[in-house]
Amino acid sequence: MHGKGLRALTLATLVALSATFALVVFWAPNDADQGFIQKIFYLHVPVAIITLIAYVVAGIFAWRQLKTGSREWDLRSYVVIHIALIFNIVGLLTGAIWAKASWGHWWVWDEPTLVSFLIVFLLYATYQPLRFSIEDPERQARYASVFAIIAGAFVPLNFMAVRMATSLVHPRTFGTANGGLPGEMMFVFLVSIVAMGLLFWLIVKYEIAQKTLTWQIRALRRRLLGDDAVAPLGRSAAPTIAPQEAPAR
């Protein structure tokens, strides 16, 4: 029920990831200036793009939560932000490695993507502290949603501001003077985006399934062993919800 389609999605993700890996290593041409290390591009940029899309999507989910008042949208928004934060860290680390390899420094302030990424990370890193410092689960969901909406709108605005503020001395990967990415690179890049998107979606689905399962187990335990057998959820418990299919008892 809640794990529906999980196996197919897992297989698709595995295939897509293996295909990406094979294409990146064996097929995509080496960059003329940067050599092999440039291939981290196929990890870094897709991860970055997926992260940003996920933050905006989490904001939209949060908006749905406020409109409908349903815990389900809160759970989705929570899980998407959770996984996006992890992707965000991966994006920061790969970005730093790429910067070290191609420019010789672990951190370059005139690379707008990297800088925006850090700022966005700093903002979203406060999602959980904010959420878990609220006692009441209803209010927790509502306040977290308000945060997610504000932060979701912040992401594009922040990108704009940081890009305006950086002097564009480093070549941009797309839209350089000689016409951007060559065809093969573009193809591998697109495959990689699809694979990362699938991976993200897969992890989100797994986490939602896990949360639903946790809820079911708690409900079953309470029914079998009595209310005392199940410890109440603390304020720092991640949201769990009842699956829609479960009988309303």
Partner 1 sequence: MSRDAARRDAKPMRPTMALLRKDLLLERRAPESIPAMVLFSITTFVLFHFGLGRDEVDGSLAAGVLLVTILFAAILGINRLFVAEHEEGGFDAVLMAPIDRTALFLAKGTALFLFLTLVEVVAVPAFAILLLGPSPWHGLPALIVTLALVNLALSSVGALVAALAIRTRSRDLIVPIVTLPLLVPALIAAARACAPLLAAHGDAWPAAKWLLMLGLYDLVFGLLAYAVFDFLLED
Among 153, 225, 229, 237, binds partner 1 (CB under 8 A): 153
Q: Which of 122, 149, 190, 189 is nearest to 61 (CA)?
A: 149
Answer yes or no whether residue 123 interacts with partner 1 by CB under 8 A: yes
CB 196 within 8 A of CB 16: no
Answer yes or no whether residue 145 interacts with partner 1 by CB under 8 A: yes
Q: Which of 9, 2, 3, 6 is nearest to 195 (CA)?
A: 9
Place of tokens 């996920």: 54
- Alpha carbon 204 to chain centroid distance? 9
Answer yes or no whether residue 173 interacts with partner 1 by CB under 8 A: no
Rounded Cα distance, 84 and 90, in Å: 10
Collapsing DSSP to helix, strand or coil, 172 comes out as: coil
Among 47, 149, 196, 202, binds partner 1 (CB under 8 A): 149
125-144 binders of partner 1 (CB under 8 A): 126, 129-130, 133-135, 139, 142-143
Token pair of 30 as six digits: 């080496």
Token pair of 24 as six digits: 């990146």
Among 122, 169, 177, 248, binds partner 1 (CB under 8 A): 122
In the complex, least distance from residue 232 CB atom to partner 1, rounded to whole angstroms: 17
CB 200 within 8 A of CB 83: yes
Task: Please name the helix (run of DSSP H) or strand (run of DSSP E) that holds residue 124, with its range, or none.
Answer: helix 112-124
In the complex, least distance from residue 107 CB atom to partner 1, rounded to whole angstroms: 16
In the complex, least distance from residue 157 CB atom to partner 1, rounded to whole angstroms: 6
Nearer to partner 1 among residue 63 and residue 201 (C-beta): 63
Answer yes or no whether residue 56 interacts with partner 1 by CB under 8 A: no
Among 11, 150, 186, 217, binds partner 1 (CB under 8 A): 150
In the complex, least distance from residue 170 CB atom to partner 1, rounded to whole angstroms: 18
Q: How many residues bind partner 1 (CB under 8 A)?
A: 30
Answer yes or no whether residue 194 interacts with partner 1 by CB under 8 A: no
Place of tokens 């809640």: 2
In the complex, least distance from residue 203 CB atom to partner 1, rounded to whole angstroms: 25
Give me the residues paired with residue 73 across strands.
none
Answer yes or no whether residue 227 interacts with partner 1 by CB under 8 A: no
CB atoms within 10 A of CB 148: 29
In the complex, least distance from residue 53 CB atom to partner 1, rounded to whole angstroms: 19
Q: Which of 113, 161, 160, 127 is nearest to 59 (CA)?
A: 127
* Binding stretches for partner 1 (CB under 8 A): 66, 119-120, 122-123, 126, 129-130, 133-135, 139, 142-143, 145-147, 149-151, 153-154, 157-158, 160-162, 164-165, 235
